[in-house]
Protein backbone atom coordinates (compact mmCIF):
# COMPACT_ATOMS: atom_id res chain seq x y z
CA UNK A 1 0.00 0.00 0.00
CA UNK A 2 2.85 2.36 0.92
CA UNK A 3 4.47 1.81 -2.47
CA UNK A 4 1.15 2.46 -4.22
CA UNK A 5 0.61 5.73 -2.33
CA UNK A 6 4.19 6.82 -2.90
CA UNK A 7 3.78 6.22 -6.65
CA UNK A 8 0.65 8.37 -6.70
CA UNK A 9 2.24 11.29 -4.80
CA UNK A 10 4.05 13.70 -7.07
CA UNK A 11 6.97 15.50 -5.32
CA UNK A 12 7.00 17.98 -8.22
CA UNK A 13 3.45 19.11 -7.46
CA UNK A 14 4.22 19.40 -3.74
CA UNK A 15 7.27 21.58 -4.43
CA UNK A 16 5.27 23.66 -6.96
CA UNK A 17 2.47 24.35 -4.43
CA UNK A 18 4.93 25.26 -1.64
CA UNK A 19 7.02 27.52 -3.91
CA UNK A 20 3.92 29.24 -5.31
CA UNK A 21 2.50 29.80 -1.80
CA UNK A 22 5.85 31.06 -0.51
CA UNK A 23 6.38 33.52 -3.38
CA UNK A 24 2.87 34.89 -2.90
CA UNK A 25 3.50 35.12 0.85
CA UNK A 26 6.75 37.07 0.42
CA UNK A 27 5.21 39.43 -2.14
CA UNK A 28 2.14 40.04 0.04
CA UNK A 29 4.28 40.57 3.13
CA UNK A 30 6.43 43.07 1.20
CA UNK A 31 3.35 45.05 0.09
CA UNK A 32 1.44 44.68 3.36
CA UNK A 33 1.86 47.75 5.63
CA UNK A 34 1.56 45.33 8.58
CA UNK A 35 4.24 43.06 7.07
CA UNK A 36 7.16 41.89 9.20
CA UNK A 37 10.93 41.78 8.65
CA UNK A 38 12.05 38.21 8.00
CA UNK A 39 15.80 38.70 7.67
CA UNK A 40 17.12 41.28 10.09
CA UNK A 41 20.21 42.60 8.33
CA UNK A 42 23.16 44.01 10.24
CA UNK A 43 22.17 42.14 13.37
CA UNK A 44 23.66 39.19 15.15
CA UNK A 45 21.52 36.43 16.66
CA UNK A 46 20.67 38.60 19.66
CA UNK A 47 19.34 41.33 17.41
CA UNK A 48 22.16 43.69 18.36
CA UNK A 49 22.78 45.93 15.38
CA UNK A 50 25.48 48.39 14.52
CA UNK A 51 22.99 51.16 15.14
CA UNK A 52 20.83 51.23 18.27
CA UNK A 53 18.00 52.97 16.41
CA UNK A 54 17.65 50.01 14.05
CA UNK A 55 17.01 47.48 16.82
CA UNK A 56 13.75 45.85 15.83
CA UNK A 57 10.92 44.80 18.10
CA UNK A 58 11.29 41.32 19.54
CA UNK A 59 8.61 38.68 20.08
CA UNK A 60 9.88 38.09 23.61
CA UNK A 61 12.67 39.68 25.72
CA UNK A 62 16.10 38.61 24.45
CA UNK A 63 18.67 37.31 26.95
CA UNK A 64 22.23 38.58 26.48
CA UNK A 65 25.60 37.57 27.92
CA UNK A 66 28.10 40.00 29.46
CA UNK A 67 29.98 40.77 26.23
CA UNK A 68 26.77 41.60 24.36
CA UNK A 69 25.54 43.63 27.33
CA UNK A 70 28.77 45.64 27.17
CA UNK A 71 28.30 46.06 23.41
CA UNK A 72 24.84 47.52 24.06
CA UNK A 73 26.34 49.73 26.79
CA UNK A 74 28.88 51.15 24.30
CA UNK A 75 25.97 51.95 21.97
CA UNK A 76 24.34 53.99 24.72
CA UNK A 77 21.40 51.63 25.14
CA UNK A 78 19.54 52.44 28.37
CA UNK A 79 20.15 50.01 31.27
CA UNK A 80 17.46 49.44 33.90
CA UNK A 81 18.50 48.20 37.33
CA UNK A 82 15.53 46.46 38.96
CA UNK A 83 17.17 45.86 42.37
CA UNK A 84 16.04 47.66 45.52
CA UNK A 85 17.46 51.24 45.89
CA UNK A 86 19.98 50.32 48.62
CA UNK A 87 21.58 47.64 46.39
CA UNK A 88 21.60 50.04 43.44
CA UNK A 89 23.42 52.64 45.53
CA UNK A 90 26.08 50.12 46.51
CA UNK A 91 27.18 49.82 42.87
CA UNK A 92 25.52 50.00 39.46
CA UNK A 93 26.26 50.21 35.73
CA UNK A 94 26.98 53.83 34.68
CA UNK A 95 23.90 55.79 33.50
CA UNK A 96 21.56 52.97 34.49
CA UNK A 97 18.17 53.92 35.92
CA UNK A 98 17.03 52.34 39.16
CA UNK A 99 13.51 50.98 38.68
CA UNK A 100 12.85 48.58 41.55
CA UNK A 101 10.34 45.86 40.77
CA UNK A 102 7.61 47.45 42.87
CA UNK A 103 7.69 50.44 40.50
CA UNK A 104 7.87 48.26 37.40
CA UNK A 105 4.45 46.96 38.38
CA UNK A 106 3.20 50.53 38.16
CA UNK A 107 3.75 50.97 34.45
CA UNK A 108 2.32 54.49 34.34
CA UNK A 109 5.36 55.76 36.21
CA UNK A 110 7.71 54.25 33.65
CA UNK A 111 5.82 55.60 30.66
CA UNK A 112 6.45 59.11 31.96
CA UNK A 113 10.18 58.45 31.91
CA UNK A 114 10.94 56.20 28.97
CA UNK A 115 9.48 55.95 25.46
CA UNK A 116 8.28 52.49 24.45
CA UNK A 117 10.48 52.67 21.35
CA UNK A 118 13.62 52.85 23.48
CA UNK A 119 15.75 49.69 23.57
CA UNK A 120 16.29 48.68 27.20
CA UNK A 121 18.55 46.25 29.06
CA UNK A 122 17.14 44.91 32.32
CA UNK A 123 19.56 43.64 34.93
CA UNK A 124 19.85 42.98 38.66
CA UNK A 125 22.32 40.72 40.43
CA UNK A 126 23.29 37.23 39.34
CA UNK A 127 21.23 35.64 42.10
CA UNK A 128 18.11 37.60 41.10
CA UNK A 129 17.37 36.28 37.59
CA UNK A 130 13.71 35.82 38.52
CA UNK A 131 13.55 39.53 39.29
CA UNK A 132 14.75 40.25 35.73
CA UNK A 133 12.25 37.81 34.25
CA UNK A 134 9.29 39.24 36.16
CA UNK A 135 10.26 42.83 35.36
CA UNK A 136 10.87 42.03 31.68
CA UNK A 137 7.55 40.21 31.31
CA UNK A 138 5.66 43.09 32.90
CA UNK A 139 7.38 45.72 30.79
CA UNK A 140 7.11 43.64 27.60
CA UNK A 141 3.38 43.16 28.07
CA UNK A 142 2.95 46.88 28.69
CA UNK A 143 4.49 47.69 25.31
CA UNK A 144 8.28 47.72 25.60
CA UNK A 145 9.19 45.40 22.75
CA UNK A 146 12.92 46.15 22.42
CA UNK A 147 13.86 44.50 25.64
CA UNK A 148 17.07 42.71 26.62
CA UNK A 149 17.69 40.77 29.82
CA UNK A 150 21.23 40.66 31.22
CA UNK A 151 21.11 37.81 33.74
CA UNK A 152 24.80 38.01 34.60
CA UNK A 153 23.89 41.33 36.19
CA UNK A 154 26.12 43.58 38.24
CA UNK A 155 28.18 40.56 39.43
CA UNK A 156 29.40 39.44 36.01
CA UNK A 157 29.71 43.07 34.94
CA UNK A 158 32.07 43.73 37.86
CA UNK A 159 33.94 40.43 37.33
CA UNK A 160 34.57 41.40 33.70
CA UNK A 161 36.25 44.60 34.96
CA UNK A 162 33.73 47.02 33.46
CA UNK A 163 33.06 50.37 35.11
CA UNK A 164 30.75 50.50 38.14
CA UNK A 165 29.36 53.66 39.70
CA UNK A 166 28.86 53.83 43.49
Partner 1 sequence: MKKLLSNSLFLLFLRLILGFIFIYAGGEKITIPDKFAESIANYQLLNNFFITLSAVVIPWIEVFAGILLISGAAVRENTAILSVLLFIFIAAGIISLIRGLDIDCGCFGEVSVKLGLAKIIENILLLTAGIILIIHGSGKYSINKME
Q: Is 18 in the site for partner 1 (CB under 8 A)?
A: yes
In the complex, minimum distance from the CB of residue 133 to partner 1, in angstroms, rounded to a whole number: 13
Size of the site for partner 1 (CB under 8 A): 30
Q: Which residues contact 142 (CB under 8 A, 6 or more apart)?
A: 107, 110, 111
27-66 positions binding partner 1, by CB under 8 A: 28-29, 32, 34-40, 45, 47, 58-60
3-class DSSP state for residue 13? helix
Rounded Cα–Cα distance for residues 55 and 71 (Å):
13
First CA to last CA distance, the chain: 75
14 vs 165, which CB is nearer to partner 1?
Answer: 14
Give the SS3 label for residue 149: strand
Taking every pair of Cα atoms in the chain, the longest distance, rounded to a whole number of angstroms, is 75
Long-range contacts (CB closer than 8 Å, 24 or more residues apart) made by 19-26:
none
Q: Which is nearer to partner 1, 36 or 50 (CB)?
A: 36
Q: Does 3 bind partner 1 (CB under 8 A)?
A: no
Integer Cα distance of 147 and 36 in angstroms: 18
**Cβ nearer to partner 1, comparing 32 with 127:** 32
Tell me which stretch binds partner 1 (CB under 8 A): 15-23, 66-74, 104-112, 154-162. Answer: 15-23
**Minimum Å distance from CB 143 to partner 1?**
13
Instruction: Please say whether the beta carbons of 92 and 154 come within 8 A.
Output: yes
Residue nearer to partner 1 on the CB measure, 48 or 93: 48
Residues that bind partner 1 (CB under 8 A): 1, 5, 8-10, 13-14, 17-18, 20-22, 24-26, 28-29, 32, 34-40, 45, 47, 58-60
Amino acid sequence: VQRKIYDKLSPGKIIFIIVLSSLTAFLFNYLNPEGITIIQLRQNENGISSDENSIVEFFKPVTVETTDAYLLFTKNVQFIDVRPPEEYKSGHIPNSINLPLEYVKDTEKIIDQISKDTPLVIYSSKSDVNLNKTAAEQMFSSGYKKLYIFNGGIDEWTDAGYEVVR
